[in-house]
Structure 1
Amino acid sequence: MTPQQFIDAALWFPEAVETEPFGPGTLVYKVAGRMFALLSERNREGVPFVTLKCDPDLALELRAEFDAVFPGYHTDKRHWNSVLLDGTVPDDELLEMLRHSYQQVVARLRRADRERLLAVLGEDAPPLP
Structure 2
Amino acid sequence: MKYEWTDSYCLSKPGAEKDYKLEWDATRYMIRGKMFAMQGGDREGKPILTIKLEPFFGAFLCGRYKDIVPGYYMNKEHWVSLYLDGDVPDETVREMLDQAYRLVLESFSKKIQKEICS
Work out the CA distance in 1 between the residues paired with 2:29 and 2:84: 17
For 2:100, the equivalent position in structure 1 comes to: 101
C-alpha distance after superposition, 1:63-122 (max 9, x if no partner): 1111111111111111111111113101111011001000011111121122344x56xx
Work out the CA distance in 2 between the residues paired with 1:22 and 1:54: 24
Residue segments in structure 1 that go unaligned for 5+ positions in a row: 121-129
For 2:49, the equivalent position in structure 1 comes to: 50
Shift in Å, 1:25: 3.2
- Written as runs of structure 1 = structure 2, the 5 A alignment for 1:2-13 is 2=2, 4-13=4-13
More strand by share: 2
Percent identity over the alignment?
Answer: 30
Work out the CA distance in 2 between the residues paired with 1:70 and 1:24: 19
Aligned-pair Cα RMSD in Å: 1.9
Q: After the TM superposition, which of the residue ranges 19-28 and 86-95 deviates more from structure 2? A: 19-28
- Judged with a 3 Å threshold, the aligned counterparts in structure 2 of structure 1 residues 59 and 24 are, in CA distance, closer, same or farther, namely closer
TM-score, length of structure 1 as denominator length? 0.81
> Number of aligned pairs?
118
Residue segments in structure 2 that go unaligned for 5+ positions in a row: none
TM-score, length of structure 2 as denominator length? 0.88
